[in-house]
A and B are shown apart, each in its own frame.
Chain A
Amino acid sequence: MEFINLLSSFFLLLGSIFIITGAIGIIRMPDFFLRMHACSIIETLGVFFLSVGMILLSGISLNSLKIILLLLVIFFVSPTVSHIISQAAKHHSSPSEKQ
């Protein structure tokens, strides 16, 4: 039981590290598409490790199943949103905006 708690703390801290990395990327990247890359780091790796830590924290129960379903929903939704945003940005970008 102690080992499981330690493992869940490790995964939660790993997810926090990825989230901080993505936050630094969002505020420091110079271009829109690079900032989108930083956002996708948060929405894949940071979210995945945070969810794994919470699943290990609650053990085998209904809450774990709900978190797995939530992770599945996020993994289908966030690439869709990223694809739509990048398509709209490519569609809207004018030649004067490109550096």
Chain B
Amino acid sequence: MALIVACVSLLILILVCLFRVIFGPTIFDKVLSASTIGTSSIFLILIHSYNSGRPDFIDLSFVYALLNLVGSVAILKFLKLGDLGSSFNRSGD
């Protein structure tokens, strides 16, 4: 029962973040909300693995966690440098 409540709250969170992703004022709101959607999808997968009794889905949530990091860093690197291939230099900032 508590798993269902957690699932519903995560779905509400995804809905709110989807609103921010579509109508967010700045581009950083969109990136942050997409990252939060990734985090909540990890826990939706975990709840599904408990509800259906198949613990293989826990490994899939690891993939989602690492993909979340790579996606956000790639988007922000593109925003900061304008190019995905160049390297960060320490002279700025």
Interface residues of A (CB under 8 A from B): 8-10, 12-13, 15-16, 19-20, 22-23, 26-27, 32, 35-36, 39, 42-43, 47, 50, 53-54, 57-58, 62-63, 66-67, 69-70, 73-74, 77-78, 80-82, 84-85, 87-89, 91-92, 97
Identity of the chain A residue whose Cβ is nearest the Cβ of B61 in the assembled complex: A70
Which chain A positions have C-beta within 8 A of B2? 8-10, 12-13, 16, 53
Please tell me if the beta carbons of B16 and A23 are within 8 angstroms of each other in the complex.
yes
Q: Is the interface of B mostly helix, strand, loop or mixed?
A: helix
For A47, list chain B residues within 8 Å (CB). 39, 43
User: Which residues on B sit within 8 Å (CB–CB) of A88?
Assistant: 28, 76, 79-80
Task: Mark B residues whose CB is within 8 Å of A.
Answer: 1-3, 5-6, 8-10, 12-13, 16-17, 19-20, 25-26, 28-29, 31-33, 35-36, 39-40, 42-43, 46-47, 50, 55, 58-59, 61-62, 65-66, 68-69, 72-73, 76, 79-80, 93
